[in-house]
Structure 1
Amino acid sequence: MASNSGFTMVLPTLNGKNYERWQVQMKVLFGYQEVLDVVQDGFQAVGDEATEAQRSLFRECTKRDCKALAMIHQCVDDSNFEKIAHSKTSKEAWDILGRCYAGAEKVKKVKLQTLRREYELLQMKDEDTIADYFTKLRSLTNLMKGCGETMKDQLIVENVLRTLNSKFDHIVVAIEESKNLEDIKIEELQSSLEAHEQRIKERSLDRDPEQALQARFNKKFTSQGNFQKKIKGKWKGEKDKGHEGSRQEPSSSSSERISVNGQALKRNKKKLDKKKIQCFRCKIFGHYAFECRTRLVNGGAEVEARLAQENESDEDQVLLMVTTEKDNTKDDC
């Protein structure tokens, strides 16, 4: 905190990451205190043969130099103070900090290339406001100017219009058609975009109550529809259950279902004992109805085939064929 003639100001502090901004602020402070020429150019010492006027000027320059050096000491953190602790003049301390952070010309060129790429890839995000986006843009352009880049206002304006969010497309078209981009200033462009941004926010706030009412109505309608579907599905399930109960068949029909699903029973052949199974068609034990060989032919003539199985093994099988015929010829009178 510094005070001079009732004017109070907060001194900037160099912390190792803000050198570009810090040096700009310090130059302004040096100019306010009338010591900028001493910091940048220094002063010459006088010899024993100097005149009284030269000695008086030297004392004045020394006083101003100590004042500038004290300001530099107050505007750096502890780590940076160690770098300039043994400096005798303000120019020496200023040059040491410049070499530490600004670097040589090659370092500036490398840094400038990185900043150029970042500037080209800069794009406004959905959550950014116009003020936030212009702050990012100004910070980046100031860093580029500190590295020796020449930035024209026209190029910055064109880049802003090209990288704005899509919701500002109609505003960009209007600005490009109605104004000359060579004459428009960055501040003028920002104020115009902020006015349109405020109008968009006001319209979105006006639509919010209507959207909330519509969402509430849709939610109520959906809940009623789901309730009706639930009741309908429950009634349908009970109806289907009643039909299934009414379609139950006696034991004979269940045997027919067993015959239809004969393949499934064949897979479980080893688990079932067919000796106790009676065929409902021929009434003989040992096989199912779908395995029965009985067929009706010739208007009532019955042909039966029996598969005899031995009690000792199911693998030895003998096939016996018995044929019976009925004589339906009539006696001649």
Structure 2
Amino acid sequence: MRALLGAQDAWEVVENGFVEVMDTAGMTANQLKALKETRAKDKTALYLLYQAIDESGFEKIVGATTSKEAWNTLEKVFKGADRVKQVRLQTLRGELEGMKMKESEGVSDYITRVQAVVNQLKRNGEMLTDARVVEKILRSLTNNFENVVRAIEESKDLGTLTVEELAGSLEAHEQ
């Protein structure tokens, strides 16, 4: 949501808030213009928040008059989900650790499967380096890749090797 709101130049108003000014008497033309722009950004952000949530979430923020108010409400609602998030992270960590390439599986398919779990972990706040993912892939390949794995470990710096570079090396061997 931050990326979406940022792309619409509306994140700042969500973060800092917007206070509706009732009395505009005495405001300069520039101040009125700035107020109108900020009001529009706030309404855009509020609209995007409405669009991004399901019906039950909408019911929780329907009374909000500003995007910051809606955002704060949603934050409180989803803070309770932190415990659920921790359980989900534990499950995903276990799934990643238990992954092994199947004999009938292509290396590209296996790496895609690993990346899907890695992406879920990252979306849930897990910090995973490419090096850790590369090491996981290397130690969980089938025995057919034993020589290639040794060659990669000896010739490349695993600390800087990206998953994409590894995939290229392994796919070249597979063919």
Are 2:65 and 1:88 equivalent residues in the alignment? yes
Partner of 1:61: 38
Partner of 2:9: 34
Partner of 2:113: 136
Are 2:47 and 1:70 equivalent residues in the alignment? yes
Letter in 2 for 1:31: G
Query: CA 1:66–1:192 in structure 2 vs 1: closer, same or farther (change >3 Å)?
Result: same
Distance, in Å, in 2 between the alignment partners of 1:40 and 1:146 is 21
- Per-residue CA deviation, residues 114-142 of structure 1 (Å, 9 max, x unaligned), is 33222222222334433333333233223
- Per-residue CA deviation, residues 63-101 of structure 1 (Å, 9 max, x unaligned), is 011112222333344444334333322333334444444
Are 2:172 and 1:195 equivalent residues in the alignment? yes
Unmatched segments (≥5 aa) in structure 2:
none
Letter in 2 for 1:155: R
Unmatched segments (≥5 aa) in structure 1:
1-25, 200-333
Letter in 1 for 2:173: H
Q: CA deviation at 1:194?
A: 2.4
**TM-score (norm: length of structure 1):** 0.44
Larger Rg: 1
Distance, in Å, in 2 between the alignment partners of 1:66 and 1:122 is 46
**TM-score (norm: length of structure 2):** 0.76
CA contact (8 A) 1:65 1:89 kept: yes
Distance, in Å, in 1 between the alignment partners of 2:76 and 2:115 is 25
Are 2:92 and 1:115 equivalent residues in the alignment? yes
- Per-residue CA deviation, residues 195-221 of structure 1 (Å, 9 max, x unaligned), is 333x1xxxxxxxxxxxxxxxxxxxxxx
CA contact (8 A) 1:46 1:55 kept: no
Query: CA 1:31–1:166 in structure 2 vs 1: closer, same or farther (change >3 Å)?
Result: same
| Total equivalences in the alignment | 173
Distance, in Å, in 2 between the alignment partners of 1:161 and 1:86 is 52
How large is the RMSD of aligned CA atoms in angstroms? 3.0
Q: Residue 150 of structure 1 is aligned with which of 101, 113, 127?
A: 127
Q: CA deviation at 1:174?
A: 1.7
Distance, in Å, in 2 between the alignment partners of 1:142 and 1:58 is 40
Normalized per residue, the structure richer in strand is: 1
CA contact (8 A) 2:131 2:159 kept: yes
Distance, in Å, in 1 between the alignment partners of 2:70 and 2:113 is 31
Structure number with greater CO (CA < 8 Å, separation at least 6) is 2
CA contact (8 A) 2:89 2:126 kept: yes
Partner of 1:43: 18
- Per-residue CA deviation, residues 256-287 of structure 1 (Å, 9 max, x unaligned), is xxxxxxxxxxxxxxxxxxxxxxxxxxxxxxxx
Identical residues among aligned pairs (%): 43
Distance, in Å, in 1 between the alignment partners of 2:82 and 2:53 is 24
Partner of 2:143: 166
Partner of 1:282: none
Letter in 2 for 1:38: V
Distance, in Å, in 1 between the alignment partners of 2:16 and 2:119 is 24
Distance, in Å, in 1 between the alignment partners of 2:113 and 2:68 is 32
CA contact (8 A) 2:18 2:68 kept: no
Letter in 1 for 2:11: L
Letter in 2 for 1:141: V
Letter in 1 for 2:141: L
SS state at 2:42 partner: helix
